[in-house]
């Protein structure tokens, strides 16, 4: 009987020891508060090149990874109809230019008519005023004076008519030239829409079409960006973005390079939330070594919010709530309030409410046991 009681005592003691909460104490440690972010590496000034006209790709003039200059052709889209339209507009423009030039047959005929009218008017004017002078001196007949006056008036009318015809023809030729120029410019622009070129110096990171494939107006055909600078585009949760500021240090890893850690800094925060995942865009730039010149590689990053050296900390698992812990006080368990500072995924800073000698109990938050 005695041995049975002793055995029960041993079992009870063992069970009590097994269920007793683990005890920990405050200790000093450098603690870093971070904000997690994920994203990808993109090229600075990265942009998609779009087709302006529909058709089949006649030629692809670059390949992925090529360096291109501003204005360099990337694709040529089939443009036979646009070619013919441009040629017709050019022919019409040249014809209009001839009609307005010094060798214009129509304008030259009208200029000659004006000169002839001027000569006739000059002669008839001299004749009339000579006869009028004689008439005023009592010489000649009224009939002769009336005839030369009539000829003089007809010459004036002929000169005015010749001037009007020339002015009208010149205006028509100028208008035709202007319209032909507008048509030529429009057809040239339409033709250029079939010639897809880069609008800046950069690198072709991806081509999306091959020769013979169809393309629609407004469809992207290539991805182009700068080779010398890359941006880390991060997504930060809406609950954390308020802590992020430009200039903060960023440490990150990429899927491409495995465990290699890279340094960066926050450069820009965007004010609009992505409603799909409740995040805000944050951009960062590399400050140390830069990964190979690949883009769109996924990254995981920690943004360093603040660092507290030699802080008094506890494991996060020791917190009963956000602002309290369980301690052992004179052999009894007691819940006490604490004021916390910064926190990391593993530790939390204790500012007030505990001294270094306090025995803290690791108890679950849900049961308190």
Q: Are residue 165 and residue 237 in the same domain, yes or no? A: no
Q: Are residue 40 and residue 171 in the same domain, yes or no? A: no
Q: Are residue 148 and residue 206 in the same domain, yes or no? A: no
- The verdict on residue 133 lying in a domain is yes
User: For residue 12, is pLDDT > 80?
Assistant: no
Distance CA 277, CA 201 (A): 34
Q: Are residue 59 and residue 206 in the same domain, yes or no? A: yes
Domain count, the chain: 3
- The verdict on residue 103 lying in a domain is yes
In this structure, of 154-163, 166-175, 290-299, the range with the lowest mean pLDDT score is: 290-299
Residue 292: both structure tokens together: 């190979």
Q: pLDDT band at residue 226, thresholds of 50, 70 and 90? A: confident
Q: pLDDT band at residue 364, thresholds of 50, 70 and 90? A: low
Average pLDDT score over residue span 197-208: 91
Distance CA 293, CA 206 (A): 13
- The verdict on residue 69 lying in a domain is yes
- Structural domain including 274 reads 34-46+228-307
Q: Give the domain-ending residue among 184, 207, 223.
A: 223
| CATH assignment of the domain containing 55 | 2.40.50.100
Distance CA 243, CA 33 (A): 10
- The verdict on residue 258 lying in a domain is yes
Give me the percent of the chain exceeding a pLDDT of 70. 93
Cβ neighbours of residue 93 closer than 8 Å, sequence gap 6 or more: 177, 180, 181, 183, 184
Mean pLDDT, rounded, of the chain: 88
Distance CA 269, CA 284 (A): 9
| 142-192 helix and 80-100 helix, angle to the nearest 10 degrees | 160
Whether residue 99 contacts residue 174, with contact meaning beta carbons closer than 8 Å, is answered with: no
- The verdict on residue 200 lying in a domain is yes
E strand residue ranges, 159-318? 195-197, 202-207, 214-215, 220-225, 230-237, 249-254, 262-274, 279-286, 298-315
Whether residue 358 contacts residue 312, with contact meaning beta carbons closer than 8 Å, is answered with: no
User: For residue 276, is pLDDT > 90?
Assistant: yes
Q: Are residue 99 and residue 152 in the same domain, yes or no? A: yes
Q: Are residue 199 and residue 73 in the same domain, yes or no? A: yes
Encode pLDDT of 315-362 as tens digits.
888 898 888 999 888 888 989 999 998 888 889 999 998 988 888 998
- The verdict on residue 23 lying in a domain is no
Q: pLDDT band at residue 14, thresholds of 50, 70 and 90? A: very low
Distance CA 310, CA 123 (A): 115
| 105-136 helix and 142-192 helix, angle to the nearest 10 degrees | 160
Q: Are residue 72 and residue 41 in the same domain, yes or no? A: no
Distance CA 67, CA 201 (A): 8
Alpha helices in the chain, H assignment, sequence order: 2-19, 80-100, 105-136, 142-192
- The verdict on residue 368 lying in a domain is no
What's the N-to-C CA distance of the chain in angstroms?
Answer: 34
Q: Are residue 68 and residue 208 in the same domain, yes or no? A: yes
- The verdict on residue 15 lying in a domain is no
Determine the distance from the C-alpha atom of residue 52 to the mean position of all C-alpha atoms in its chain, rounded to a whole number.
17
Distance CA 261, CA 72 (A): 38
Average pLDDT score over residue span 88-97: 93
Q: Are residue 66 and residue 159 in the same domain, yes or no? A: no
Beta-carbon-side half-sphere exposure of residue 74 (alpha carbons within 13 Å): 34
Distance CA 324, CA 291 (A): 44
DSSP string covering 25-72: --EEEEEEEEEEEEEEEEETT-EEEE-SS-EEEEEE---TT-EE-TT-
Residue 119's pLDDT is what?
93
Residue 1's pLDDT is what?
41
**Residue 86: phi, psi to the nearest 5?**
-65, -40
Residue 3's pLDDT is what?
39
Q: pLDDT band at residue 365, thresholds of 50, 70 and 90? A: low
Residue 16's pLDDT is what?
44
| CATH assignment of the domain containing 282 | 2.40.30.170
Q: Are residue 198 and residue 281 in the same domain, yes or no? A: no
Give me the percent of the chain exceeding a pLDDT of 90. 55
Q: Are residue 62 and residue 40 in the same domain, yes or no? A: no
**Distance of CA 304 to CAs 11, 85, 117, 273, 283, Å?**
50, 61, 93, 21, 14
């Amino acid at each position: 009987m005695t041995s049975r009681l002793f055995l029960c005592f041993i079992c009870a003691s063992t069970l009590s020891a097994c269920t007793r909460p683990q005890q920990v104490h405050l200790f000093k440690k450098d603690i870093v508060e971070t904000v997690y972010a994920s994203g990808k590496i993109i090229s600075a000034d990265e942009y998609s090149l779009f087709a302006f006209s529909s058709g089949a790709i006649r030629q692809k003039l670059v390949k992925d990874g090529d360096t291109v200059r501003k204005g360099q052709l990337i694709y040529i889209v089939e443009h036979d109809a646009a070619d013919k339209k441009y040629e017709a507009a050019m022919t019409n423009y040249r014809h209009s230019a001839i009609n307005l030039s010094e060798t214009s047959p129509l304008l030259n005929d009208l200029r000659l008519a004006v000169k002839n009218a001027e000569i006739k008017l000059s002669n008839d004017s001299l004749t009339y005023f000579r006869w009028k002078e004689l008439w005023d001196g009592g010489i000649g007949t009224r009939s002769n004076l009336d005839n030369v006056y009539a000829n003089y008036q007809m010459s004036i009318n002929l000169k005015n008519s010749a001037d009007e015809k020339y002015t009208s023809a010149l205006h028509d030729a100028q208008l035709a030239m202007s319209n032909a120029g507008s048509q030529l410019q429009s057809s040239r622009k339409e033709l250029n829409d079939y010639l897809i070129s880069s609008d800046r110096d950069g690198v072709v990171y991806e081509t999306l079409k091959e020769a013979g494939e169809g393309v629609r107006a407004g469809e992207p055909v290539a991805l182009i960006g700068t080779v010398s600078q890359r941006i880390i585009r991060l997504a930060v949760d809406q609950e954390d973005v308020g802590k992020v500021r430009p200039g903060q240090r960023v440490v990150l890893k990429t899927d491409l390079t495995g465990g290699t850690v890279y340094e960066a800094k926050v450069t820009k925060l965007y004010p609009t939330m992505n409603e799909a995942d409740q995040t805000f865009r944050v951009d960062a730039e590399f400050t140390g070594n830069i990964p190979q010149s690949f883009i769109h590689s996924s990254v995981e990053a920690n943004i360093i919010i603040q660092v507290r050296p030699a802080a008094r900390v506890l494991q996060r698992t020791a917190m009963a709530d956000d602002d309290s812990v369980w301690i052992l006080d004179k052999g009894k368990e007691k819940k006490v309030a604490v004021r916390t500072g910064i926190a990391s995924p593993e530790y939390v800073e204790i500012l007030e409410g505990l001294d270094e000698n306090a025995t803290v109990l690791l108890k679950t938050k849900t049961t308190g046991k």
